[in-house]
Structure formats: structure tokens, C-alpha cells
Amino acid sequence: MSFLIKVNNKEIEARNGETILDAMERQGIQVPTLCHLKDMLPSGSCRMCVVENAKNNRLVTACSTPVEEGMEIQTHSSGVIESRKTIVELLLSNHPDDCLYCVRNKNCELQDLSEELQIRERRIKGVKNNIHLDRSGTSLVRDPDKCILCGRCVRVCEEVMGVACIDFINRGSQSIIGPPFDRTLNTSSCVNCGQCIMVCPTGALSEKSHFPELISMLNNPEKTVVVQYAPSISVSLAEEFNMPAGGDISSIMNAALRKIGFQYVFDTSFGADLTIMEEAAELVNRIENGDTLPMITSCCPGWVKFAEQFYPDMLPNLSSCKSPQQMMGAVIKSYWAEQLNKNPEDIYSVAIMPCTAKKFEAQREEMTSRGITDVDAVLTTRELGQLIRMYGIDINNISPEATDSPLGFRSSAGKIFGASGGVMEAAIRTAYNMITGEELLKFKVEELRGLDGCKEAQLKVDDLTINVAVVNGLANARKLLDKVNNGEKEYHFIEVMACPGGCINGGGQHIGAAEGAVEARMKALYDIDDKETVKTSHKNPEVIKLYKGFLGKPLEHTSHELLHTHYYKRDVIL
Amino acid sequence: MEKNIEAVLNKYPEGSVDNLIPILQDIQEVDGFLSEESVVKVGEYLNMPASKIYGVATFYNQFRFTPLGKYHIQVCCGTACHVLGSATVLEEIEKNLGVKSGQTAKDGIFSLEVVACIGACGLAPVISINGNFHAKVTSESIKEILDNYRNKE
């Protein structure tokens, strides 16, 4: 049922049960918000979105007040503006004044609001926050001084990720947001996904930077600095430079990376192809030998830590395959180093990922063999943007270049890893071939594409029916795994990605993405898959060569040593 | 301690989140404070993250997170005590013990807590140590009172 309400003296349509904010958004009428998160229940705590109900001159929060027939709303009356201004002035009263040194300088919602509301003097002086900076984690830095207590991180962590490692602590002016017992992030159940960074309006949450070490390595003549970038980076980086979402700029990125000083540039999608070779072989093996099923993907480090904490009994279900980042790192420092006659110890291997949890993954002790780390430093998409700007590279004015070979060619199956459902689709293409010796007639598995949190499909392989599921957002994974555990659902293979939509929406991506950006990034990946001819990992000529000349067969000795890993139950506060 | 927690939890067989605060109160009654271990145990029992429980517990003044000292000092900050200088009394005790309200001194002898009116307004400003009231305390008498307790050790 819909009816009319008046906003700023103009009638607009409102639907029964929606909030004033919903109705106004549809008409393009904007009011500022802070604690509001799209598609989640309103909390109404920051009161930034107040509007005036003209009938009784009272201020109500647009985000949490349902529309009523005959309502008359003023969005920018003098009372409303005054009230919003006071809210921001109060938020600023105890906020540090170090914008120039802040990781979110020029990309901060508090800064924007202060500017929009023309706050030009410090009217309210409060005692500045002075709480410990938490640099204990491998991926995230928590600076509670900069926290304005909007609670968006708390809600994402609990409702989207199903982790709930942080919450409000204390009360009133003593309130902070943090892990239980005022501990640090490293002993909490934080899975390093970085979704809290994505929703943080200020610099209270950010990724841990590896810049100083990286820059010194780039200038060290004894080191060969190599770089790999994840499948989703080339379709996401453009937004860091104000270009529309979804543009694939891989060849420009290759050139930019070389200009910065990376001597060799690789696409992690090659590593993804390798992951598929191993993972598909493992799946076929498990099905044929009647081993633990469902097999669950293990390329997402956020999910892996989640499983180690919350589902330790299901660790045997996780594929033993390392993630594409780690496989790529491992072959760079073995096969590739051998080919180019380089000492693995002199290689500094950098990975650019849409993900903060990859920083954690790279330093897991299982990811080092014989004292050689697979990957030495991990940068997020955002950090790559910063690096390109720091080195003064004009990406609008640069000639495209290709990746380096060997390890330079990728299939489009490796590329679609960046989207939720992509790993599954790529694995199906190769597993089908491994079982039947033939190629699929139709590569596309429509049911597994898109942004739904949980997707399912049934596939016929000869006389075998394989049930698969794809989940993204760890809260969805929790729901699905509980169903699997109580026998309600049965699958052969499950893909889990921690972030909603997969890596294209990872915690290392551009902050403040435009509406529809994630869809655009996803479409860009599938467009690449449509356009290109090598659509399966097992048809990647360089993968074939790598197995022939170095690895042998999937799951055999060398592969096992380099490309597989193990997991263990973690002792953290749940 | 683990047994105490079990015994408390057994009193709430339905394991409902609604019982969170009574459970925490009961545990504090038995243990004197909420330990990390007990919060985690309650979380497992109610299927609730420890962060949520700690959030709830720190919201209320009634919960402590450090064990009580041998002598537990309650400083009354009710209206009458406030008017007659309980703030100075509190400050003096904090200085003397080197702890803040809600904490326990390192030697475990004293713990300190601020409470609302304890119903002895005629004795204001008043403090209670293990239930024994000390009336009309002043910055000067505090040292003496605390030293008396210290000397018993």
C-alpha cells in the first residue's frame, strides 16, 4: 500500500512500513547519515538524519521513523540544520585534530559533515580521547581515539560476518568499541576480513601498512622485487582514481607497477588456475575414495580463521589447498626462481589483494617452508592506489603492458575467482574434465552467479549428481554449516567467501564505492570470461608446462609440499 | 571457580539470553567478581559472543572484573555524603591505595568501590569497609582507618 507524504512542501510517494529515509532516498532527497547502514535494521543512535515533522515541529530520525499518511517533513529547516551542526560539533569535541596525519584524510565522513555543515569554530571543547592504539593484529589497526561510536563496525561484524569480536564497552562518556575484556584484536575472534574498515566513517579502523619495508626493498639493489595482483584488483583499482566502477585496467596496472620499480609483474589468477588444478583433483579424489565431504574451499583466509575458531570439527572438510596468493608465492620462489637462476632468499614477493585478511595469511607459519616465506608483503587495493599516487604515476597517460612469463598466462576461470561463485564455477569446469575426460558444453553455471548470500546448484557428471553450494558473508556460512551439521543439507562441495559478494567487495577495496559498484566489478569479471577463449584452468598452457616440467601431477609430492597446507583449532576468545 | 559457574548455570536450565543479567549477578555473588573465564563460560552456555556479554556487564556499575580485596571499601556518594565532601574522601582513598574505584590494590588487601546512598546519611560522609561503617570521615581520619586495617595483616 502506498500513500502520499509531503517533504519540503512537495508530495512524494511513501510505502507502508518503510522509513522516511527510504521514501526520500527513492526521490533523491538527501539527508546526512552516520550510523545508518543500507539494507540493515536502523539503529537511530547518531541522530544525524533528523528531520522536522512540520505538524508538531518535533525532530525525528529519518532512518528509524516509519512513514505515516499525511506526514509533512522539512529536511533542512533552520532547526534541523542547527541540530545537525550541534551533533557534529559534539562529535568533534573529543575527536583528535590530526586530520593531516590520518589514514582517512580526504576520505572521512566526519570531515565531510563538518565541511558540509560549515563548522568553522570550535564551539564545544571536550577532553580529547586518549586510548591505546591497538596495533596488535596482523591486518587491522584500531585507533579508538578516532571512533565516534556510530556502531557500524559492531553491526557488520555481528550481523554480516557472524563473528562479533567487538562491541560497545562501558557506558556514557566512557564508552568505547573494542574486543571483550579490553583486550587487543590479536587475541580476539577477529578474522581480519576488514569489513569494519569498509563501514568505518573515520580513521578508527584501518589496515596495517607494509609501506616502509616495501619502499626500502624497492630501493635495495640486491633484491628482486616481484609483485602479483589478485583477480579482482584490475576491475576495482579504477575507482581509486575516480574512474567509473568495473573498468578492467590490468594492462595499465602492469605498466604502473613496473614504473614503481617492481621488476616482475604477475597475475594471481595464474595461482588461481593452480588452485583449481589441485582443488578439483582433491574433490574428485574425495568423491572417488569416499573421504570427508562436503569439501569446503580454503582460499579465503577470513573464512579459514573463522572455521579454525568456530568450526574446528569441520577442519577436515577444508580443502588442504593453499590460496592462490600463497600458491603463486610458492611457485615464484621455487619454479620461477629456478628458471631465472635466482636465489629465493633474494626475492621480495609482494601481493596486491582486495583483502586485509591476506596480510594475516601471508604471515601464518604454515606459509613458510625452510625459512622461506611464500609472500613477504601484502598491499590492499587502497594501498596500491596510494603507492601509485606516491610515485607520481599518471595512470591516464601510460602505455599498457603485459604480465611477465613464465607464470604470466591465466585462464578466465582463474579471473572469475574474484566474484562469489567463481571458484566453484572454475572448479566444476576442471573437475568435469578430470572425471569424464571431456569438456563441459556449457561453462556458465547461472545459479552460482550474482550477489545472493547463499546459492545452490546440482550438476550432472556422467551418472553422478554433484550438489554444490556457494555462500558469501560469514553469517551466511554459519547458517549453511549449521544446516550441514544437523543433516538438513547435503553437499559435495561448498565455496565460502567471507565478504559479501566475494573478493570484489573485500575489506581492502576502495572505501566509499558508488552504488552498484560491486555489481559492476562482478560484471567486469564475467565479461572477461565471456570474451576470452581459454576458459578452463587445465587448458592454461603455462599451467600445463609447470606441471610437466616441475610439479608432476596434482596432489603428487612436489605439489603437496609447495601448494598444500593444514589448519588448526585456535584458542581465542569467542 | 569452574564448579561455582557450573552450579550457577544449572539454576538456569533453559539457557535463555533473557537470564544473562541474573546469571552474571549470581556468579558475582559467588566469586565476588566476573572473571574472563566465567564470561566465556556464560557465552558458551547462552550461545552468545563474549564481546556482547562484556558489553552488557560493563554497562552496569554493579559488575566488577577484578577480585575483591580482603577489605572491600565502599565509598558512599549519596546526596548527603556528596554535599559533605565524599569526592575529597574518595580522592584521598584513591591516593592512599593507588587504585581507582572498581579496582583492587596489587597486594590484594583493599578494593575500592563507589556506591550510591547506603542509608546512613546522619553519618555522612560515610564509608563502609566489609560492612562496618566509618562515620564522618575526613581526609585526616582516612589514613588512620586504613592503617588500622593494614596493621591487622
**Confidence class for position A75, pLDDT limits 50, 70, 90:** very high
More reliable by pLDDT, A494 or B61 = A494
Question: What was the ipTM of the complex prediction?
Answer: 0.91
Residue A127 has pLDDT above 90, yes or no: no
Q: In the numeric block, which cell numbers belong to residue B149?
A: 586495617
CA B8 to chain centre: 19
Candidates B33, B40, B51, partner chain A, best to mutate (most A CBs within 10 A): B51
Q: Does B65 touch chain A (CB under 8 A)?
A: yes
- pLDDT at residue B116, rounded to an integer: 86
Same domain, A345 and A382: yes
- Within 8 A of B53 by CB-CB distance, chain A residues are 180
Which of A144, A172, A207 lies at the terminal end of a domain, its last residue?
Answer: A207
Residue A114 has pLDDT above 90, yes or no: yes
Same domain, A45 and A97: no
Q: Does B39 touch chain A (CB under 8 A)?
A: yes
- Within 8 A of A168 by CB-CB distance, chain B residues are 55, 59
Q: By CA distance, what is A178's nearest residue in B?
A: B51
Note whether residue A568 is domain-resident.
no
Residue A128 has pLDDT above 90, yes or no: no
- pLDDT at residue A367, rounded to an integer: 94
For the domain made up of B71-152, the CATH class stated in words is alpha beta
Note whether residue A403 is domain-resident.
yes
Note whether residue A83 is domain-resident.
no
Arithmetic mean of pLDDT, A209-226: 95
Contact A270, A328 (CB under 8 A): yes
Residue identified by cell 517533504 is A7
Candidates A156, A167, A189, partner chain B, best to mutate (most B CBs within 10 A): A167
The pairing of beta strand A493-497 with beta strand A464-472: parallel
B44, B49, B58 ranked by CB distance to A164: nearest: B49
B44, B49, B55 ranked by CB distance to A168: nearest: B55
B50, B58, B60 ranked by CB distance to A574: nearest: B50
Q: CA A429 to CA A417: how far, in whole Å?
A: 13
Note whether residue A6 is domain-resident.
yes
Rounded to the nearest angstrom, the minimum Cα separation between B49 and chain A is 6
**Confidence class for position B55, pLDDT limits 50, 70, 90:** very high
Note whether residue A84 is domain-resident.
no
For the domain that residue A196 is a member of, what is the CATH number? Answer: 3.30.70.20
Q: CA A298 to CA A308: how far, in whole Å?
A: 11
**8 Å CB contact of B50 and A180:** yes
Smallest CA-to-CA distance from A491 within A231, A236, A293 is with A293
Residue A116 domain boundaries: 91-207
Arithmetic mean of pLDDT, B137-151: 91
Same domain, A98 and A129: yes
Rounded to the nearest angstrom, the minimum Cα separation between A314 and chain B is 18
Note whether residue A481 is domain-resident.
yes
β-bridge partners, A267: A229
- The dihedral formed by the CA atoms of A504, A507, A509 and A510, expressed in degrees to the nearest 10: 130
Q: In the numeric block, which cell numbers belong to residue B112?
A: 575500592
The b/e string for A429-446 (b: 16+ C-beta within 10 A; e otherwise) is: bbbbbbbeeeebeebebe
Q: CA B6 to CA B11: how far, in whole Å?
A: 9
Same domain, A364 and A496: yes
Q: Total domain count for chain A?
A: 3
Q: Give alpha helix (H) positions in A206-295.
A: 211-218, 250-260, 268-289
**Inter-chain CB pairs, A–B, below 8 Å:** 47
Q: CA A322 to CA A336: how far, in whole Å?
A: 18
Note whether residue A8 is domain-resident.
yes
Note whether residue A508 is domain-resident.
yes
Residue B2 has pLDDT above 80, yes or no: no
Same domain, A20 and A99: no
- pLDDT at residue A293, rounded to an integer: 93
Smallest CA-to-CA distance from A413 within A380, A381, A448, A384 is with A448
**8 Å CB contact of B39 and A180:** yes
Which uninterrupted H or E stretch holds A524? helix A517-531
Question: Catalytic one among A146, A305, A322, A358?
Answer: A358
Is A299 among the residues known to form the active site?
yes
- Within 8 A of A189 by CB-CB distance, chain B residues are 49
Which of A76, A109, A126 lies at the terminal end of a domain, its last residue?
Answer: A76
Arithmetic mean of pLDDT, A514-532: 95
Smallest CA-to-CA distance from A208 within A330, A55, A378 is with A378
- What would the pLDDT profile of A371-405 be if each residue is shown by its tens digit? 899 999 999 999 999 999 999 999 999 999 999 98
Smallest CA-to-CA distance from B2 within B49, B56, B44, B62 is with B44
Same domain, A405 and A507: yes
Same domain, A11 and A148: no
The number of beta carbons lying within 10 Å of the beta carbon of residue A363 is: 15
Q: In the numeric block, which cell numbers belong to residue A431?
A: 573437475
Q: In the numeric block, which cell numbers belong to residue B125?
A: 560522609
Contact A520, A496 (CB under 8 A): no
Is A401 among the residues known to form the active site?
no
**8 Å CB contact of B39 and A171:** no
- pLDDT at residue B1, rounded to an integer: 62
- Within 8 A of B58 by CB-CB distance, chain A residues are 169-171
Dihedral sign from CA coordinates of B80, B81, B83, B84: positive
Which of A76, A109, A136 lies at the terminal end of a domain, its last residue?
Answer: A76
Domain boundaries, chain B: 2-59, 71-152
Q: CA A397 to CA A371: how far, in whole Å?
A: 41
Rounded to the nearest angstrom, the minimum Cα separation between B36 and chain A is 7
